[in-house]
């Protein structure tokens, strides 16, 4: 058998090697000796610096998608996005989308009502930058809009003897008149809209509020507001919308509460007005139970996974967990919610009268604390119970502390 490559080895070698040698010499500027062989020479090159870290990273949700936006970084030739479902996302742990140009990119095929976190890095011949600050967004088919939900009049059992928690005892019957409560916790967007109007119309607040626990994302509950902030904000929202304010600083109820810290009494509240207000503790608990009787949580007795935000490490957008029987969201978890009543762990319900109608709590508490309800993304699952109570001074603020609107009339 004849082998064609055995006949012309020198020709083949010469054909490929000579041009290659010439190209290599030109490209690398290799010196050639008199013998025809390449002489050793030093090749110098200026190293390329890695690009700066991208800044101004933000994320905007859509239906099954999130658009990530950033400011172009000096020295970058392309960008990488890394994303995941934890705020600890990084280029070491996130799902990678590489070699992006421009300064925005839409990540698709994401799950609605699932919070996603994003970081961006810049890339060039010198390497990849460190991670940017993270941004977050939660894909959703339709953005949540505030709206009052009717809670029907009637009795219910308030408190809980399932776990023998002292401050939830004794269990007692309460009758609550029909009233209305917002289906969502108050979002920062709504808070800011009213806050800006109020600041221009004679109101002042202790705190400006925060957009969720980290100030990042959309449709997040407002947090870092105290009890006084919330009741003044309700008056401002009422006036802005042409409703009758509920809270006053005098017993005649003629001077609207707009400034300072005033420990209002029940006599200074127009309970039958159509303005916005905090729910009473009894109203809140009835709403949280969603029509169920004697259950630990808004959905029943067992705490499963994915039913409330008690462990995400941050606030999440309102309304991404399943609603209760009244169509209310986040009555367990995400952020604790201020209610009207004074109270303390030692007082428990010792003051309560079985069969009372529309109770508004004691006139004061032995620890000068008001009540918050519902649990949050921190403090543990024990506070998710419908009967769960936490007691804080009315000046207290925290990144897991918000509220929602109620009204006696729609």
pLDDT tops 60 at residue 317: yes
Q: Cβ atoms within 10 A of the Cβ of 139, count?
A: 22
How far from the centroid of its chain's Cα atoms is residue 23's Cα? Answer: 59
Q: Please tell me which residue, 164 or 16, carries the higher pLDDT value.
A: 164
pLDDT tops 70 at residue 106: yes
Q: What is the CATH number of domain 143-410?
A: 3.90.1580.10
Element (H, E) at 163: none
Position 304 scores a pLDDT of: 82
Rounded Cα distance, 346 and 398, in Å = 23
**Rounded to the nearest 5 degrees, what angle is found at the Cα of 73, between the Cα atoms of 71 and 74?**
140
Rounded Cα distance, 353 and 344, in Å = 17
Tokens of 166: 């002292």
Distances (CA, A) of 57 to 60, 157, 392: 10, 49, 36
* Listed residue (336, 321, 57) closest to 224, CA to CA: 336
Q: What is the pTM of this model?
A: 0.87
**Structure confidence by residue, pLDDT tens digits, 332-369:** 999 999 999 999 999 999 999 999 999 999 999 999 99
Rounded Cα distance, 225 and 401, in Å = 7
- For the chain, helix (H) and strand (E) counts, in that order, are 4, 23
Rounded Cα distance, 370 and 290, in Å = 24
**Structure confidence by residue, pLDDT tens digits, 279-316:** 999 999 999 999 999 999 999 999 888 899 998 889 99
Rounded Cα distance, 63 and 22, in Å = 58
Position 311 scores a pLDDT of: 86
**CB-CB contact of 221 with 318 (8 Å):** yes
pLDDT tops 60 at residue 166: yes
**CB-CB contact of 281 with 289 (8 Å):** no
Position 45 scores a pLDDT of: 63
**Structure confidence by residue, pLDDT tens digits, 22-74:** 334 333 444 444 445 544 545 556 788 999 999 999 999 999 999 999 999 99
Same CATH fold assignment for domains 55-137 and 143-410: no
For 248-257, what is the mean pLDDT? 98
pLDDT tops 50 at residue 241: yes
* 37 contacts: CB under 8 Å, gap ≥ 6: none
**CB-CB contact of 383 with 390 (8 Å):** yes
Q: What is the mean pLDDT of the chain?
A: 90
**Structure confidence by residue, pLDDT tens digits, 203-222:** 999 999 999 999 999 999 99
List, as one string, the DSSP characters of 317-343.
-TT-SPP-TTS---SSSSSEEEEEEE-
**CB-CB contact of 348 with 168 (8 Å):** yes
- The full set of domain ranges for the chain reads 4-39, 55-137, 143-410
For 232-257, what is the mean pLDDT? 98
Position 381 scores a pLDDT of: 86
Position 27 scores a pLDDT of: 38
Given pLDDT bands bounded at 50, 70 and 90, which one contains residue 2?
very low
Widest distance between CA atoms in the chain = 117
Position 33 scores a pLDDT of: 42
Position 17 scores a pLDDT of: 39
Position 93 scores a pLDDT of: 97
Alpha-carbon dihedral of residues 119, 124, 128, 131, nearest 10 degrees? -20
Given pLDDT bands bounded at 50, 70 and 90, which one contains residue 4?
very low
Between β-strands 401-402 and 135-137, what pairing exists: parallel, antiparallel or unpaired? unpaired
- CATH of 55-137 given 3.30.360.10, 2.60.40.10, 3.90.340.10, 3.60.150.10: 2.60.40.10
Rounded Cα distance, 213 and 221, in Å = 9
């Amino acid at each position: 058998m004849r082998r064609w490559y055995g006949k012309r080895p020198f020709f083949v070698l010469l054909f490929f090697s000579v041009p290659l040698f010439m190209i290599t010499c030109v490209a690398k500027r290799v010196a050639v000796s008199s013998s025809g062989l390449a002489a050793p020479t030093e090749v110098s090159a200026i190293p390329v610096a890695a690009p700066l870290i991208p800044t101004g990273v933000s994320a905007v949700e859509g239906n099954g998608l999130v658009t990530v936006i950033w400011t172009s970084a000096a020295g970058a030739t392309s960008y990488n996005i890394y994303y995941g479902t934890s705020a600890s996302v990084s280029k070491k742990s996130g799902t990678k989308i590489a070699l992006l140009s421009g300064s925005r990119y839409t990540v698709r095929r994401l799950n609605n009502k699932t919070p996603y976190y994003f970081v961006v890095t810049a890339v060039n011949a010198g390497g990849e930058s460190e991670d940017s600050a993270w941004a977050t967004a939660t894909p959703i088919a339709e953005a949540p809009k505030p709206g009052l939900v009717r809670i029907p009049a009637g009795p219910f059992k308030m408190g809980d003897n399932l776990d023998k928690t002292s401050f939830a005892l004794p269990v007692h019957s309460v009758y609550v008149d029909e009233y209305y409560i917002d289906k969502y916790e108050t979002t920062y967007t709504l808070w800011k809209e009213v806050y800006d109007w109020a600041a221009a119309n004679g109101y002042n607040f202790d705190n400006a509020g925060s957009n969720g626990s980290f100030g990042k994302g959309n449709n997040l509950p407002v947090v870092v507001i105290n009890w006084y902030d919330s009741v003044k904000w309700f008056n401002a929202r009422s006036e802005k919308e042409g409703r009758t304010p509920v809270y006053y600083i005098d017993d005649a109820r003629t001077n609207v509460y707009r400034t300072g810290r005033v420990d209002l009494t029940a006599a200074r509240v127009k309970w039958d007005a159509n303005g916005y207000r905090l729910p009473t503790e009894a109203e809140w608990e009835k709403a949280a139970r969603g029509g169920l009787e004697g259950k630990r949580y808004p959905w029943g007795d067992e705490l499963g996974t994915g039913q409330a935000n008690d462990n995400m490490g941050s606030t999440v957008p309102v309304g991404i967990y399943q609603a209760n029987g009244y169509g209310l969201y986040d009555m367990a978890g995400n952020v604790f919610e201020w209610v009207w009543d004074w109270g303390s762990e030692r007082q428990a319900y010792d003051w309560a009268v079985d069969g009372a109608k529309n109770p508004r709590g004691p006139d004061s508490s032995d620890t000068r604390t008001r009540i918050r309800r519902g649990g949050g993304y921190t403090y543990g699952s024990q506070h998710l119970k419908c009967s769960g109570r936490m007691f804080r001074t009315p000046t207290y603020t925290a990144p897991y502390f918000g509220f929602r609107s109620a009204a006696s009339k729609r």
